[in-house]
Structure 1
Amino acid sequence: MNDSSWSATPRSGHWETPAGGPGDGSAGFAQDALDAAQTRRMPPEPSPEPEPVPPVKKSAGRNLRAAIGVGVGMGAVIVASLFIVKAAFVGVVALAVVVGLWELTSRLAEKKSIRIPLVPLAVGGVAMVVAGYARGAEGAWVAMALTSLAILVWRMTEPPENYLRDVTAGIFAAFYVPFLATFVSMMLAADDGPWRVLVFLLLTVISDTGAYAVGWRFGRRLLAPRISPGKTRAGLFGAIAFAMTAGALSMQYLIDDGKWWQGLILGLVAAVSATLGDLGESMIKRDLGIKDMGTLLPGHGGIMDRLDSLLPTAPVVWLLLVVFVGTG
């Protein structure tokens, strides 16, 4: 078919149709090309400005007012029992041990189905605390051995499944809570026992306070992220600085024959042991999948959540005081 309106004429590598002929589409093609070029030259529309995000206010993660109130109340009870009747403070330690054992064994039973016989553990725990005060380290070790034996025998009254697991956990609990607490009783037994115990408590509490204050303000790098997301390296330095300062002042003015440089060593070691104790209990709670060991103390959690840094610090402070100033 011959159509005179189309002429295939190559020009600059393109095939074009004669202008003005029937079916002429050159004007449409040119307009389309012009529109496309203009579209390419147009700058993209600016994206809307994102709304400013308000700064996140740091939070302690607990009811701070309740925590302070409970802490002050506990401190008043402890100081009153320390300096009025020594035996009363032994009773306070024994009560804390029993409640702590109840919390620990309850969580182990709930989360891991570990059945620890609480009766021999609690009775043996009280015996350890009393023996440590009355007979020293020898009495504490004898009570620990008898408590372990009682756990082994008591667990025999139940089915044998998981016997080894349960008694192992029971002996661990006996060592972790009451046996470490006996070093507080042994400190108390010295002539200046109340002052030794007060120094021990001050160093641990001030170490925790320094870790919280400095870590909350300056903490950026985590100390042990897989164990405790709240512990920072800055917090550890804060704990050491606060505890060393408190140790120097305490040894100089509260302990007979104490020297300020001994307090620096005491504060350093106490801060490290308190931090390790806190991390140790955090490891247990991570394994159990819980945040706190209990809810008995508003703003604090359970008794075990307060004993975590005290328990491992007690033997350290007891030993260093014996080395520096004797048994008293």
Structure 2
Amino acid sequence: MKQRILTAIFALIIFVPFVLYGNLPFTLFVYLLATIGLLELIQMRKREHYGAPAILAIIYVWTILWEYENDSIPLIGLDKTEVTVLFVVLLLTYIVFIKNKFNFDDAGFLLLSAIYIGMGFFSMIVARGDGPNYIFYVLLVIWATDTGAYFIGKAFGKNKLWPKISPNKTIEGALGGVILACAVGVSFQLAAPFPYTMGAMIGITILVSVFGQIGDLVESAFKRHYGVKDSGKLLPGHGGILDRLDSLLFVLPILYLIGFI
């Protein structure tokens, strides 16, 4: 527990200044986090012959993170959809060159992993562009959800939420997480209001809380499928980047789609 607390404090000391300052340092920091996150997913799969495709996947993630003028990538003149097509073509071509040692399943895994990582961290850059409060709000709601789910679930949890993926989570805990998240969301709106009504913010907070829990279950499903405890070892006591940011990466694209960020 002491190690987890120290690691959390150290991570916040690093993360918060980047969020507050924003601009290029924050963007570069997000590029670094996204690269580490993608490599964690690749490492979980424990497959060989990912050298060249992994490099391609990293480059593809970087193109997703980059915000272009007129949606066109400099020098090559392609938009993100066209880059996706190019990435798929290169992955499928690699299957032929390496004689099926890298197969269709591997190509699909890399494509989905890159999109998952890319859309999550791209949304983080967009959110910071609207101001640091957007990221802090989402983080506080997610932490409140985790805290409420843990304590309410421990005290009153009887009905399992999804035992095959995360055996310790309960329906009661999930509801407790949403309730505490709403309390934090309302408090945040009173202290640093967004340009929305309180009713709208409660609805958005519930959305963040629910999809944050789904994001956590998605990461748990990954780890259970690949037989690993943590996504990585970068953060002692906490695991990897994806272990700490799984909910955030799932929530931010939802907020991007509904126009909150």
Is 1:185 the counterpart of 2:125 in the alignment?
yes
Match of 2:75 in 1: none
Q: CA deviation at 1:92?
A: 2.0
Match of 2:106 in 1: 166
Identify if the C-alpha distance between structure 1 residues 123 and 239 changes in structure 2 by more than 3 Å, giving closer, same or farther.
same
Of 118, 125, 128, which residue of structure 1 is paired with 2:61? Answer: 125
Aligned length: 255
State how far apart, in whole Å, the 1-side matches of 2:69 and 2:190 are: 26
State how far apart, in whole Å, the 2-side matches of 1:222 and 1:312 are: 22
Q: TM-score, normalised by structure 1?
A: 0.69
Instruction: Report if the CA contact (8 A) 1:244-1:264 is conserved.
Output: yes
State how far apart, in whole Å, the 2-side matches of 1:227 and 1:252 are: 37
- Other structure's SS at 2:46 match: helix
Is 1:261 the counterpart of 2:199 in the alignment?
yes
Residue identity opposite 1:172 in structure 2: L
Instruction: Report if the CA contact (8 A) 1:195-1:255 is conserved.
Output: no
Identify if the C-alpha distance between structure 1 residues 213 and 146 changes in structure 2 by more than 3 Å, giving closer, same or farther.
farther
Of 214, 225, 228, which residue of structure 2 is paired with 1:287? Answer: 225
Match of 1:243 in 2: 181
Instruction: Report if the CA contact (8 A) 1:247-1:267 is conserved.
Output: yes
Unaligned runs of 5+ in 1: 1-63
Q: TM-score, normalised by structure 2?
A: 0.85
State how far apart, in whole Å, the 1-side matches of 2:19 and 2:58 are: 23
- Taking the TM superposition and a 5 Å limit, the aligned residue runs for 1:1-328 are 64-110=1-47, 115=50, 117-131=53-67, 141=81, 144-153=84-93, 157-190=97-130, 193-320=131-258, 322=259
State how far apart, in whole Å, the 1-side matches of 2:71 and 2:140 are: 26
Residue identity opposite 1:80 in structure 2: P
Report the identity percentage.
Answer: 26
After the TM superposition, which of the residue ranges 126-135 and 86-95 deviates more from structure 2?
126-135
State how far apart, in whole Å, the 2-side matches of 1:141 and 1:292 are: 32
- Other structure's SS at 1:308 match: helix
State how far apart, in whole Å, the 2-side matches of 1:148 and 1:202 are: 37
What is the CA RMSD across the aligned residues, in angstroms?
Answer: 2.7
Larger helix percent? 2
